[in-house]
Amino acid sequence: MFGKELRVRNQLFVICIGLLILSLAISASAKPRKKSKKQKETAAQKEARIRRANAERASLLRLSIQRSDGLDGSFTANTGRSAVRASSAPSSGMVQFVGDPELAARGIAPATASAGQIIISEFRVRGPNGANDEFIELYNASGADHTVADSGAGTGYAVAASNGVARCVIPNGTVIPNKGHYLCVNSVGYSLASYPAGNGTTATGDATYTTDIPDNAGIAIFNTSIAANFTLPNRLDAVGSTSEANTLYKEGTGYPALVPFSIDYAFYRDTCGKAGSITTFGACSRDTPKDTDNNAADFVFVDTNGTSAGAGQRLGAPGPQNLSSPIQRNASVAADLLDICAAASSPPNRVRDFTSDPANNSTFGTLDVRLTFTNNTGGNVTRMRFNVVDVTTFPAPSGIADLRPRTSTAVVVTVDRPPCGSGTSNVTVQGTTLEQPPSQPNGGGFNSTLSAGTVTLATPLANGASLDSRFLLGIQQTGTFKFYLNVELLP
The C-alpha atoms of residue 389 and residue 447 are separated, in whole angstroms, by 6
Cβ distance to Ca ion smaller for residue 145 or 237: 237
Q: Mark the segment that binds Ca ion (CB under 5 A) among 163-171, 315-323, 378-386, 452-460.
A: 315-323
The single-letter code of the amino acid at 40 is K
Q: Which of 321, 376, 377, 469 binds Ca ion (CB under 5 A)?
A: 321
Based on the shown chain and the rule CB under 5 A, indicate whether residue 244 belongs to the binding site for Ca ion.
no
Cβ distance to Ca ion smaller for residue 212 or 336: 212
Based on the shown chain and the rule CB under 5 A, indicate whether residue 237 belongs to the binding site for Ca ion.
yes
Q: Closest approach of Cβ 131 to Ca ion, in Å?
A: 4
Based on the shown chain and the rule CB under 5 A, indicate whether residue 318 belongs to the binding site for Ca ion.
no
The C-alpha atoms of residue 356 and residue 61 are separated, in whole angstroms, by 29
Based on the shown chain and the rule CB under 5 A, indicate whether residue 212 belongs to the binding site for Ca ion.
yes
Q: Which residues in the 263-292 window bind Ca ion by CB under 5 A?
A: 291
Q: How many residues bind Ca ion (CB under 5 A)?
A: 11
Q: Which residues in the 95-134 window bind Ca ion by CB under 5 A?
A: 122, 125-126, 131
Cβ burial, residue 378 (10 Å; 0-12/13-18/19+): middle
Q: Closest approach of Cβ 182 to Ca ion, in Å?
A: 11
Q: Closest approach of Cβ 98 to Ca ion, in Å?
A: 27
- Strand-pair partners of 337: 371
Q: Closest approach of Cβ 410 to Ca ion, in Å?
A: 27
Based on the shown chain and the rule CB under 5 A, indicate whether residue 297 belongs to the binding site for Ca ion.
no
Cβ distance to Ca ion smaller for residue 224 or 380: 224
Q: Closest approach of Cβ 217 to Ca ion, in Å?
A: 8
Q: Which of 56, 69, 293, 357 binds Ca ion (CB under 5 A)?
A: 293
Based on the shown chain and the rule CB under 5 A, indicate whether residue 69 belongs to the binding site for Ca ion.
no
Cβ distance to Ca ion smaller for residue 117 or 366: 117
* Residues near Ca ion (CB under 5 A): 122, 125-126, 131, 212-213, 237, 291, 293, 319, 321
